[in-house]
Amino acid sequence: MRLLCLILLLLLLVIQYPLWWGKGGWLDLRDLQARLAAQTETNEALQARNNALRAEVNDLADGTSAIEERARGELNMVRPGEYYVQIVPAPPPPAR
């Protein structure tokens, strides 16, 4: 009887091995779920970035206000009759 219980226990362990550590087992499932969550988060961030870029492209294609804003902000361009004024911060006092 003792030998039969030992054999059955051994068979149970042999059957359980693929379930836990084999290909497609529980440990692989946990790893895949973690990778899926990370990839989903990355995809959502990229989707938000794509939406922002799409909105900027539509704004640039439809109106001139976005183009003018970029030209003024990045290239320091002004309209005729306007003056460009840049305020330079005062230099720090000399150290003694």
* Per-residue pLDDT tens digits for 14-38: 887 777 777 777 888 899 999 999 9
What is the dihedral sign for C-alpha 2, 7, 10, 12?
negative
Q: What angle do CA 80, 87, 95 make, to 5 degrees?
A: 160
The residue that leads in pLDDT, 42 or 95, is 42
Q: Look at residue 78 and give its three-state secondary structure.
A: coil
Q: Return the domain boundaries, the chain.
A: 24-76
Does this model's pTM top 0.75? My answer is: no
Work out the average pLDDT over 68-89: 80
**Highest mean pLDDT range out of 52-56, 61-65, 76-80?**
52-56
- Tokens encoding 58: 């539509």
- Asked if residue 56 lies in contact with residue 66, where contact means CB atoms within 8 angstroms, the answer is yes
How many C-beta neighbours within 10 Å does residue 71 have?
14
